[in-house]
Each structure stands twice: as structure tokens, then as C-alpha cells.
Chains A and B, each alone.
Chain A
Amino acid sequence: MLIIRHAQMDTLGGAMREWSIGLFVEYVEERFPVKVKALGPTEAWNTVRRAIVRAESYGMQSVEEIRGFLDLWFQFGPEFDTRQDAEGAFDALEDPDLAADVRLSLIAARLETAAANRTTKSID
């Protein structure tokens, strides 16, 4: 599995970093074509760059982890991680007990369960 460490990125220099951002832009273009198109190429690039920096601040280093974070970013909107959601799904991002990939896995599981409960428990 490919791991991109921040320090390595710095060592490799700006060109390498821009290249990797491009790969992540391609990834979100495939996953969220309407949203990315609406942003336009420059803003999409800047958004992905911001999201990567934020993902790295949570200790996410691998391509898989950053992709997972981008999925959440584009699904729930920028700065989703700083919003207080009632279900507390994103609290896991800062959980020091969990590895970065486990945090993402747990967030996905929480969102899935909360959505299912919203459907089954909405009639009181």
C-alpha cells in the first residue's frame, strides 16, 4: 500500500505534491462529478488541496485514507469535520485511540447505522 508522508512530500518537492493532488482531483471527479464540475477546475484543485491538508492533520497518510477523507468532504460539505452533528459521527476523526483508517471505517459505520435508525425509529 502506498503511503504518502507529509515529510516525504516536502522532500519530493512541490511538483510531486501537485502531481499527487491531481490524482486526488481525478478521484473526486469520478466520485462526485456534479459537485466537482460546479466548482470548476481551479476551485476543485484548491478544495482537494485544502482537504488533503485537513486529512493530514488527522494523521491520514495513505492514499486510501485521504480518499476516504475526500469522500466525506465531498459528501457532507467542506469543513464537515468542524460542524457539530447531532449524531456525533465525525467525533471519531480526533479519537486518539484509533488509527486513521479505523477512524474512517468507524465514521462510515456510524453514518450507516444512524441512517438506518432514522428510517426505522422516525415514527414515535
Chain B
Amino acid sequence: MYPKTKSSDPVVGCGKKSEQQKQTGDILVEVRIYCTADPKRKPVTGINVELKKDDANAGKGSTDSKGRVTFSGLDPGSYSVGLKIGPSLARLYDVDPPPPAQTKSVVGNKTTAYAFELRYYRIAFSVTYPDGKLAQKVDYELRLKKITGAQQTLDKDWSSYKTGSTTAEDYSEDYVPKGRYQLRLKAVSDVQLSKPQVTIGEAVDLSAEATGFDDGTAGSFEIFDARNLAKSMYSISANTAANALKASWTPDQSQLGSLKSGWIVAQAKVSSAQAFSPELKVVTKTEYDLVDKAGNNLDGRLLFHFSGGDQVDADAAGGKAQVLVPWNQTLTRIQVPDQRNSRVELQTDSGVQKFVQT
């Protein structure tokens, strides 16, 4: 309880005080803390307070649970109050520059208040997808730079401060030590294949950004049917290097045996972090022999129609055309675009299949 200077003796009137009865005053010091993100002031316990009168020590105290300390029975006069903050507290509060000492006049029969505010440090971050939604279950590591005084920051200069996984709310932590922090998200993103479609038998490069992992961390690219993400059809191992996961893949028929949709997606995985590539069409390079009615080789632009409704342009040269046939689709007909009524039909002559212009 703090002094209630007028609670029980309300009417002083104009009575003359005895010369021997010296009137003394009190000082109430309050220290509260806040941060920029949360300006609501809160009391702080255990801050050392020094009282001085005429540059001489007049008292010491430490703030209680309400952030307060009182000095009672003080002779009237000018008193200076300052906070004494040691190195350990200086790491938690912004005391650069330190809060200046406050000087006020203390008069008899009154309590003079001194208020101090200290700003504390806070860390907050959120991880969002490009559409702004919070990304949950992203592993992170907060690292705090050790005070080395070195000009160049090396990886060993950082120590792990906290690790965790993002949740449905932004991360924040109050009263963190002053320092330089690094946030490493253990995340995989931007999965890409080097070609716009996957051709059986032709190598394709897979790549993904993989941040926050040490080089050499094992990962993989899992190949899924784009319409069935329940089970991977094929797995390609890879290791992280320079914040990336890379591999080369030459697809063959056997690896994609269960592919039904004709479209695949690649999932890059490192630990529990993962991300998917865009969907890619799977095609098979097929060569067709093409002749006209007279048996001459066909040349020129042709339009190939397939059972799934796909149409593919291809140039025939010397009676041969290489066509990228969509996965699991059969050729239904071939059109010669320059000759409106002309078609190319499959004919079998002595067991040999040929496409003949009719």
C-alpha cells in the first residue's frame, strides 16, 4: 500500500505547524515497459532505482510486481531519480541511450511521482503463400548472432535460438535478447521441370528451392499422376546444395506404369517440407511412315488427331513424321491441312502398317 496522504485527516484548515514537526515528502517511482508493436505499458519487476539529492546518494530500491518503489520521509528539496540497468537487463531493454535521470522537487506532505518507460524487444514473423494465406507447418530456425566483433559473418557465428513449425497464427515472442537474428525457413518451393512436357526416354532436369537445410540433406522428387496424389509412381533421390534440390530424370514407360491421366506432377521433398510442380503432360515420341496413293513418300505439314481429343501438328519429310503422342492415347486420324478433302488412313499391306493418303 502506498501512502494515502490525505485519506484520514481531511481538514487541515489553517492551523500552524510546530517548528519541530518537520514536514517530509515521499517519492513514488514507477517503471513500465512496452514495445512498438504493443504500446500497452506493463509493470516491470526488479529494476534498480537510485535516488540522489545534490549528487549524493539518497536511497536505493528495486521495483516490485507493480513496477514501483517508494522512498518515504524525505526532506523537501530537489531529488534526482535514475535507473541502474546492468548488462543482463541491457540485453532485454532498449537502453541505448539509457533513460535520463529525472529531477523533481519534493515538497512536504506530498508524494511526487516519477515515471519511467523502457522499450523491450520483440520478434514477429509470418510465412504466407503468394495469395496471402498463412503457411502452416513450415519448419523454421531462428538464429541469433553471437557477438564476435568479426567484420564478416560466417555460418559459425550464428547460434540456434529457437526452432519450431509455423501454426495458424503469426509467430511472436516478447522480451527477446537484443541482437541480430536470422530466420531460416526450412521450406521447399518453386518446383520446376526444365521442359514444358515430359517425353518418355528424354532426360528432364528437376529443380526446387530448398532453404534452411544444410548442404547434403537428403531429399527426393516424387512423381505423381496429377489426378492421383495418393501414391507416388516413382521416386528420384537428391541432396540439397546451395539452397536448392536438383536431379535429372529420364522417364521410361515402366516408371509411369500406373499413369492414367496422362499428366504428372513432381513433388520436391526434404524432411517434412514439400512442394509440388505445375502439371506436365507426358508424351511419347513416335515415328510414322506416310505415303500417298501411288506409294510415294509424303512431305509437308500434317495434323494428327488422337483418342483423347488432342491434335498434334507434325511435319512429314521423306515419308516419315515424328509425333509427340499424348500418353495412353491412340491415333484416330490424320489430316492434311493444305488439302481440304484429303485424309491419311492406316493400311496394312502384307503385315506392314502404313499411313496412306486417300
Contacts and interface: CB of A to CB of B under 8 A. Distances in A.
A26 interface: no
A30 interface: no
B6 A88 contact: no
Given A87-B39, A99-B2, A99-B4, A108 B10 contact: no
Interface string A83-108: 00011100000000111111001101
Contacts of B94: 121
B28 A105 contact: yes
B115 A102 contact: no
A40 B1 CA distance: 42
Interface stretch (B106-114, B172-180, B264-272, B346-354): B106-114
A88 B12 CA distance: 33
Interface residues of B, number: 31
A113 B3 contact: no
B3 A102 contact: yes
Contacts of A102: 2-5, 28, 111, 113
Interface residues of A, number: 26
A109 B117 CA distance: 11
A49 B228 CA distance: 76
B40 A109 contact: no
B115 A97 contact: no
A50 interface: no
Contacts of A98: 2, 4, 28
B36 interface: yes
A63 to B, nearest CB: 11
Interface string B208-251: 00000000000000000000000000000000000000000000
Nearest to B31: A113
Contacts of A88: 32, 40-41
A100 B6 contact: yes
B30 A99 contact: no
Interface of A: 1-3, 5, 61-62, 86-88, 97-102, 105-106, 108-110, 112-114, 117, 121, 124
11 contacts: A3-B11, A61-B10, A62-B6, A87-B39, A99-B5, A102-B28, A102-B111, A102-B113, A105-B110, A109-B114, A110-B115
